[in-house]
């Protein structure tokens, strides 16, 4: 039963409009590929490592190969056919050997035809299928560990960030955070990594305000959390970021190394990193197919809209984005249980009835998406440096999360947006969460807003405004809405942004065995 007394017909209309708004963008995404999608495909096929012989720094082998294929014969047919044709033609034993020969200028890629095409396609499917089976094994291993060790005994899960820049230091902080009660550890990425059009290799120790997302760093942190999970007798989840110019590749690496959650929003990169809209929508579709295969919960980024726009006036844009993210996710194969839609406690606390407004917005998200593991974000925009006020504000945020049945609670820091939190700040923040969760218990079962009261009226008002906005988006197009500054006040035209030169229109005979197998669930 809806505590907001939502009209099922209005909810159905909202979803139908979101589907109509998303459809042209989905068609656009399926008609294009990108350099990142092709690199992700070859990573599934087993290519690893980097070319360290050049003064410009290490260049991942996968970048070297895809760039050369594009130069020689284009990417509109996909990278898999030219790559596996060259592997056979030059009688090389591995993709790494092929990459080394490519860097040495010994390979000229061509598009095979006839029997050669069939052989290359078969070889590509075999190699990529092996990579997908590794993803499947990681998912099965997670299920076994959860069955043996158990999940946290209550919701919401407590989500805590580490961000030292050094993976070895991150491991220490993550293990201690788990011992102090964190259920999910998020390793923040180094500043600016989302704008790198390559994924660094190896363990890293020089990140800025975060640690580079690499396959080796994923492996190190997952192994460390497995140890502390066994120690604590509960499975501790790991989060990182599948976003930016390498979204598909990082999704693949997360699947291979058994990450449990990844930040993956359909519009965040467009709005807040000025990445080309078409590039983003193509990359997010492939990455979400990987997440669906890997059983990874995605976290979307609607909370960011409320840091650049007013959290009351723009509340309906969060709901619209959630509905669009839901549609894009479902189309890519992600079920509701993997759809960690985002929202946030960001209303100015000086606004009259601000806490009641927060409850209405949070309850609306909970009731629109009852089976989704919603991610509830703490106050940041209105943290002033008064740590006492901030600590109280975080307590109200935690209470709102309990009252409205949120699934994932990011721990708020009283020093948020002022300084990088000390370990003692995190300890106090966890104390705040633990106190609220323990004291409130199952208070959500007793929370029933008055039928004609403020909270119910506000929830229905926001839903009505979301429907109105969706109607305008359907009429004018989602890309035009993004260009006009509808979300977060950011204006991003479809032809602009970083990475636009990495978008390629597919030819009629485009072949990508990874995309085919992700669509069908096949492994060969």
Ramachandran region of residue 487, left (φ > 0), alpha (ψ -120 to 50) or beta?
A: beta
Active-site residue flag, 130: no
User: Active-site residue 427, yes or no?
Assistant: no
Residues whose CB falls within 8 Å of the CB of residue 172, separated by 6 or more in sequence, listed in order: none
Query: What separation in angstroms does the CA of 21 have from each of 268, 352, 460, 479, 480?
Result: 17, 35, 21, 10, 11
Is there a catalytic annotation at residue 212?
A: no
Q: Spot the catalytic one: 198, 268, 305, 510.
A: 268
User: What distance in Å separates the CA atoms of residue 347 and residue 312, rounded to the nearest whole number?
Assistant: 6
Residue keyed to tokens 């020969």: 101
CA atoms within 13 A on the CB side of 339: 24
517 contact partners, CB below 8 Å, separation of at least 6: 125, 128, 129, 132, 523, 524
Q: Provide the pairing of β-strand 32-34 with 339-340.
A: unpaired
User: Measured between alpha carbons, how far is 69 from 76 in angstroms, rounded to an integer?
Assistant: 10
User: Among candidates 164, 185, 165, which has minimal Cα distance to 227?
Assistant: 185
Do 231 and 243 form a contact (C-beta atoms < 8 A)?
Answer: no
The one catalytic residue in 109, 159, 309, 375 is 375
CA-nearest of 267, 287, 286 to 277 is 267
Q: Which of 51, 183, 260, 303 is catalytic?
A: 303
Residues catalogued as catalytic:
268, 303, 375
């Amino acid at each position: 039963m809806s505590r907001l007394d939502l009209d099922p017909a209005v909810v159905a209309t909202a979803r139908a409009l979101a589907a109509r708004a998303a459809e042209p963008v989905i068609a656009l995404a399926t008609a294009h590929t990108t350099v990142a999608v092709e690199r992700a495909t070859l990573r599934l096929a087993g290519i690893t490592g980097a070319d360290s012989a050049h003064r410009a720094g290490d260049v991942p082998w996968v970048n070297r190969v895809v760039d050369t294929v594009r130069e020689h014969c284009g990417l509109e047919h996909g990278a898999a056919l030219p790559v596996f044709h060259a592997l056979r033609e030059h009688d090389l034993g591995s993709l790494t050997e092929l990459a080394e020969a490519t860097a040495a200028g010994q390979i000229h890629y061509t598009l095979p035809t006839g029997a050669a095409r069939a052989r290359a396609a078969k070889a590509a499917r075999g190699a990529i299928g092996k990579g997908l089976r590794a993803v499947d094994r990681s998912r099965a291993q997670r299920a076994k560990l959860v069955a043996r060790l158990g999940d946290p005994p209550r919701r919401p899960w407590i989500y805590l960030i580490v961000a030292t820049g050094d993976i070895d230091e991150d491991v220490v902080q993550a293990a201690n955070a788990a011992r102090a009660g964190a259920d999910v550890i998020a390793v923040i990425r180094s500043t600016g990594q989302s704008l790198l059009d390559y994924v660094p290799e190896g363990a890293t120790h020089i990140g800025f305000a975060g640690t580079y997302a690499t396959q080796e760093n994923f492996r190190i942190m997952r192994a460390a959390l497995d140890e502390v999970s066994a120690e604590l007798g509960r499975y501790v989840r790991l989060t990182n970021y599948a976003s930016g110019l390498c979204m598909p590749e990082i999704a693949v690496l997360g699947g291979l190394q058994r990450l449990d959650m990844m930040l993956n929003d359909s519009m965040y990169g467009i709005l807040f990193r000025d990445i080309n809209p078409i590039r983003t929508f193509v990359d997010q579709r492939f990455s979400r197919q990987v997440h669906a295969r890997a059983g990874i919960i995605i976290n979307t980024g609607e909370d960011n809209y409320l840091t650049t726009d007013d959290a009351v006036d723009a509340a309906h844009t969060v709901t619209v984005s959630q509905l669009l993210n839901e549609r894009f996710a479902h189309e890519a194969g992600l079920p509701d249980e993997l759809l960690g839609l985002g929202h946030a406690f960001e209303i100015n606390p000086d606004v009259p009835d601000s806490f009641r407004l927060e409850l209405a917005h949070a309850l609306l998200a909970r009731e629109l998406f009852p089976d989704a593991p919603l991610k509830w974000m703490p106050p940041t925009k209105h943290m002033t440096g008064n740590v006492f006020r901030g600590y109280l504000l975080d307590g109200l945020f935690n209470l709102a999360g309990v009252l409205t049945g949120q699934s994932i609670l990011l721990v708020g820091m009283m020093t948020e947006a002022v300084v990088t939190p000390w370990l003692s700040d995190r300890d106090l923040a966890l104390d705040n969460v633990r106190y609220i969760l323990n004291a409130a218990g199952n208070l959500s079962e007793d929370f029933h807003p008055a039928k004609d009261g403020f909270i119910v009226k506000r929830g229905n008002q926001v839903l009505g405004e979301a429907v109105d906005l969706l109607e305008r988006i359907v009429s004018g197009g989602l890309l035009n809405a993004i260009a006009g500054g509808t979300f977060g006040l950011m204006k991003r035209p479809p032809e602009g942004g970083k990475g636009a030169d990495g978008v390629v229109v597919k030819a009629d005979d485009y072949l990508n065995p990874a995309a085919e197998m992700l669509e069908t669930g096949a492994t060969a």
